[in-house]
């Protein structure tokens, strides 16, 4: 999944907002809370604004998914976010279908942690 495809997919989810921060990372939020990040990293693991550099996608996941995903090649505990059960997937580590499913789950996990009032305001619940 390219960064453009990542942005298009995250933007299709309900009540999302997007910012670019942390050295050009594409950060997606629901209710002001981050659920997925796409960063491009250049040579020697330094951040870069070069959108042609390989994308790494980080997302929140369930406890069980975290355990399973961290055992797969190309997926690591997300730097700075692992304690909150986030993983970082290198390009090609997951199929596009699986990655979309995990991103949707991340959106749902974060949205469910919002107050009922906020969920209602965002149109996430009736």
Condensed to tens digits (0 to 9), the pLDDT of residues 58-110 reads 999 999 999 999 999 999 999 899 999 999 999 899 999 999 999 999 999 99
Which residues contact residue 102 at a Cβ distance below 8 angstroms, ignoring those fewer than 6 apart? 59, 61, 65, 69, 94
Domain 3-121 fold: 3.90.1150
Q: How far is CA 92 from CA 34, 76, 88, 108, 113, in A?
A: 23, 13, 12, 23, 30
Give the span between the Cα atoms of 103 and 99, in whole angstroms: 6
Can you give the pLDDT at residue 53? 58
Question: Do the Cβ atoms of 108 and 122 come closer than 8 Å?
Answer: no
Count CA atoms closer than 13 A to 36's CA, side-chain side: 29
Can you give the pLDDT at residue 50? 52
Query: How many percent of the chain have pLDDT more than 70?
Result: 89
Backbone φ and ψ for 103, nearest 5 degrees, come out as: -65, -40
């Amino acid at each position: 999944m390219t960064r453009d495809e990542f942005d298009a997919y995250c933007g299709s989810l309900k009540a999302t907002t997007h910012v670019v921060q942390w050295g050009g990372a594409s950060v997606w939020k629901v209710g002001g809370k981050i659920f997925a990040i796409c960063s491009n990293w250049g040579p020697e693991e330094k951040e870069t604004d070069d959108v042609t550099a390989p994308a790494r996608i980080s997302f929140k996941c369930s406890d069980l998914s975290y355990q399973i995903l961290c055992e797969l090649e190309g997926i690591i505990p997300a730097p700075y976010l692992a304690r909150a059960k986030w993983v970082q997937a290198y390009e090609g580590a997951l199929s596009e279908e699986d990655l979309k499913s995990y991103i949707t789950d991340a959106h749902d996990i974060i949205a469910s942690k919002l107050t009922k009032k906020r969920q209602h305001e965002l149109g996430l619940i009736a």
